[in-house]
Amino acid sequence: MAGGRIPNSFIQDLLSRVDIVEVVGSRIELKRAGREFKGLSPFTNEKSPSLFVNPAKQMFFDFSSGKNGTAITFLMENDRLSFVEAVEELARRVGIEVPREGSAGGERLSLEGPLDALVAAERYYRAELRQHRPAIDYLKNRGVSGDTAKLFGIGYAPESWDALARQFPKGESQRHAIDAGLLIERDNEGPSDAQRRGSGAYDRFRNRIMFPIRDTRGRVIGFGGRTLANDPAKYLNSPETALFHKGRNLFGLYEAKQSSKAELPSLLVVEGYMDVVMLAQHGIRNAVATLGTATTREHLGLLYKNTHRIVFCFDGDRAGRSAAWRALEQALPEVFENRECRFMFLPDGQDPDSLVQAIGAEAFHALIDAAQPLSDFLLAELVKQVNLGSRDGRAQLPTLAKPYIEKLREGPLRALMVNELMRLTRLGSGDIEAALAATPTRAAASNPEQRTLRAEPPGVKPIRRALQILLERPALALKVEHLEQLALLAQPGIEILIEAIDFFCENPDASASQLSEHWRDSSKGQAVQRVLNSDLERPEFSRTLTHIAGDDGLEKEFFGSIMVLRQRALRERMQQLLEKSKDGALSRAETQEIEEITGRLSVGKFEPG
């Protein structure tokens, strides 16, 4: 296989040439079902079809297994191919050659992008580790073997202000390294004058053991560095970049996935790089680490995409239990169907690294198996706040549990929680359900925002509705104007809609599948997948699209949703200006802006965009 990265532009072009119906149809029997094709899922042993292929979106949706995606995703899941292998297989089908960017060799590289800069940096750091005895001794003293260091690509960043910077030619290549978070641009507030000599950039990581952070496709997207000096910043991560987001990525997930050809039976979430490394060295290959941040919903989505069972591992002290509680709050909406979440607390003074070396892998596995289920941990912590020996104390427990149980989806776990509350409080199921029932307040019922939502397009909010129709008819993006007005709206999801419009404007012939592939393994991609899934899961949406009189009807509904959003954005901007006017005089431009917004809102007319 040739070296170098496959250009994203080629992947988009490849998807436009491939017919997903033919790709899936070559593996399973498909039959037409209205606008889609359906067949038996190749991922489960089902007797009735639950896999649908949408030729307009060039996407497949398998409701029995939960898998969905593009033709690339289908080959990865069905044929158990890597991403690169799936791309090469599709390229063979249409008779084209896969191009490669960059070069596998050379000390100084002319780089095509930040990803190439990160690849070059990893190679450089690994080479430096082989030449730096103190770094090697540190790893040996921590118990890290050469094979384990190789498995995780561990390296060393020299104690120099520009050792890495010198590897990148000044200009575009150095700019890519800066964008990747590897280098810092020099300025007047940077290092001392002696250290700042010349122009360009200096190294972010110096005198540190370097741990590459990979995405789920194995690409290096950032680094974590452990200092070898008396630096108060013991660990330093790459900054947030277009490629790297601490709240969306996990250290060790790619390596864990490589250890199993099937779905991982479980994933152990720990806190440190060395915890993951040493657990892997002892044969516990399913450990991952958050990157110096609390567990997020996006972390959980990524974890459950690769396993059905998560075990959080925390210190047993107060700080550890507080961190576990924050993780529990994030996990509650994500635990449903066969998903499981447990909590494991370590003895005082121990972390996974030290404990596995002290007791061995077998005993550590036993601790994992004995981890506390989410429901037990939740109720045990709540019980600490009441006196179950008194009637008043027992009566308080359902009220304390209510905000947490409300986050659970309907299903067995919620039912078991209610049963356990019945046992602890000695109340009947009717009393528990009454205590847990949510009753809308009078203030909420009169909320003007709620009245606005009821007047929006049927079944969905305008952002979601606009995105649904846009994914169905990408060409509408070319008619949208005044995106800067939409950008004023402080509402979740608006940035996804705006970026989707931008994508289809820049790629006029693209389909929903190409946007999904463009955002693969990102929160935006997951949001698009949810919208695409809802199209098929909600028959009323398909009926609405079918019954609207052709493209003209869809266009009117799309721009109707856009108009609602623009009006809301302008009202928000108007409110900001009015609030500002209370504290002082507005500028002439701001006064004129108020007049323009007032005129637009009073007329209530907007251009098609």
**Is residue 203 within 8 Å of 183, Cβ to Cβ?**
yes
Q: Give residue-wise pLDDT tens across range 105-122.
A: 333 433 457 888 998 999
- Residues in contact with 559: Cβ distance below 8 Å, sequence separation at least 6, in sequence order: 476, 479, 608, 609
Q: How far is CA 450 from the centre of its chain?
A: 29
What is the pairing mode between strands 201-203 and 183-185? antiparallel
Q: Give residue-wise pLDDT tens across range 365-411.
A: 999 999 999 999 999 999 999 898 888 888 889 989 998 998 888 88
Q: How far apart are CA 415 and CA 426, in angstroms?
A: 16
3-state secondary structure at position 519:
coil
Q: Which amino acid is at 210?
A: M
Identify the band that residue 331 occupies on the pLDDT scale cut at 50, 70 and 90. very high
Give whichever of 97-101, 240-244, 596-600 has the largest mean pLDDT: 240-244
**Is residue 491 within 8 Å of 504, Cβ to Cβ?**
no
At residue 535, the pLDDT reads 52
**Is residue 332 within 8 Å of 363, Cβ to Cβ?**
no
- Residues in contact with 217: Cβ distance below 8 Å, sequence separation at least 6, in sequence order: 82, 83, 254, 520, 521
**Is residue 256 within 8 Å of 287, Cβ to Cβ?**
yes
Identify the band that residue 492 occupies on the pLDDT scale cut at 50, 70 and 90. confident
| DSSP type of residue 243 | S
Which CATH number describes the domain made up of 385-436?
Answer: 1.20.50
- Residues in contact with 430: Cβ distance below 8 Å, sequence separation at least 6, in sequence order: none
| DSSP type of residue 439 | -
What are residue 37's DSSP bridge partners? 32, 53
Identify the band that residue 181 occupies on the pLDDT scale cut at 50, 70 and 90. very high
**Is residue 324 within 8 Å of 373, Cβ to Cβ?**
no
Q: How far apart are CA 493 and CA 311, in angstroms?
A: 30
Check whether 360 has a pLDDT greater than 90: yes
Instruction: Judge residue 59's burial from the number of C-beta atoms within 10 Å of its C-beta, 0-12 exposed, 13-18 middle, 19 or more buried.
Output: buried
Give 253-379's CATH code, choosing from 3.40.50.2030, 3.90.1300.10, 3.40.1360.10, 3.40.50.720: 3.40.1360.10
Question: Around Cβ 455, how many Cβ atoms within 10 Å?
Answer: 7
Cα angle, residue 262 at apex, residues 260 and 266 outer, rounded to 5°: 75
Q: How far apart are CA 39 and CA 65, in angstroms?
A: 13
Q: How far apart are CA 336 and CA 413, in angstroms?
A: 7
Mean pLDDT of 580-603: 69
- Strand ranges (DSSP E) for 50-198? 51-54, 59-62, 68-69, 155-157, 183-185
Q: Per-domain residue ranges for the chain?
A: 8-94, 114-185+202-237, 253-379, 385-436, 449-603
Check whether 16 has a pLDDT greater than 50: yes
Question: Around Cβ 414, how many Cβ atoms within 10 Å?
Answer: 19
Global model pTM greater than 0.75: no
At residue 194, the pLDDT reads 47
Give whichever of 64-78, 193-207, 347-361, 388-402 has the largest mean pLDDT: 347-361
Choose between 81 and 456: higher pLDDT: 81
Q: How far apart are CA 21 and CA 32, in angstroms?
A: 10
Q: Give residue-wise pLDDT tens across range 129-153.
A: 999 999 999 999 999 999 999 999 9
Looking up tokens 């302008």 gives: 570
Identify the band that residue 247 occupies on the pLDDT scale cut at 50, 70 and 90. confident
Q: How far apart are CA 192 and CA 188, in angstroms?
A: 9
Rg of the Cα atoms in the chain? 27
- Strand ranges (DSSP E) for 122-207? 155-157, 183-185, 201-203
Check whether 419 has a pLDDT greater than 70: yes
Mean pLDDT of 510-514: 84
The CA distances from residue 343 to 17, 267, 271, 548, in Å, are 47, 12, 13, 51
Identify the band that residue 432 occupies on the pLDDT scale cut at 50, 70 and 90. confident
Cα angle, residue 194 at apex, residues 193 and 200 outer, rounded to 5°: 75
| DSSP type of residue 138 | H
Q: How far apart are CA 436 and CA 336, in angstroms?
A: 19
Q: Edge-to-edge, what's the strand order for the sheet holding 155-157?
A: 155-157, 208-214, 220-227, 235-237
At residue 550, the pLDDT reads 52
Helix ranges, 240-351 (H) = 253-258, 273-281, 297-304, 318-331
Question: Around Cβ 155, how many Cβ atoms within 10 Å?
Answer: 26
| DSSP type of residue 36 | E
Mean pLDDT of 296-318: 89
Identify the band that residue 36 occupies on the pLDDT scale cut at 50, 70 and 90. confident
Mean pLDDT of 536-551: 44
At residue 375, the pLDDT reads 93
Check whether 511 has a pLDDT greater than 50: yes
Cα angle, residue 124 at apex, residues 123 and 126 outer, rounded to 5°: 65
Check whether 293 has a pLDDT greater than 90: no
At residue 146, the pLDDT reads 94
At residue 251, the pLDDT reads 96
The CA distances from residue 258 to 154, 253, 255, in Å, are 17, 9, 5
By percentage, how much of the chain surpasses pLDDT 90? 31
Q: How far apart are CA 128 and CA 22, in angstroms?
A: 49
Identify the band that residue 102 occupies on the pLDDT scale cut at 50, 70 and 90. low
Mean of the per-residue pLDDT values of the chain: 82
Could you tell me the fold of the domain covering 8-94? DNA Primase; Chain A (3.90.580)
At residue 126, the pLDDT reads 95
Give 449-603's CATH code, choosing from 1.20.1300.10, 3.40.50.1010, 3.40.640.10, 1.10.860.10: 1.10.860.10
Q: Which class in CATH covers the domain with range 114-185+202-237?
A: alpha beta
Cα angle, residue 608 at apex, residues 607 and 609 outer, rounded to 5°: 90
- Residues in contact with 3: Cβ distance below 8 Å, sequence separation at least 6, in sequence order: 100, 102, 103, 104
Identify the band that residue 498 occupies on the pLDDT scale cut at 50, 70 and 90. confident
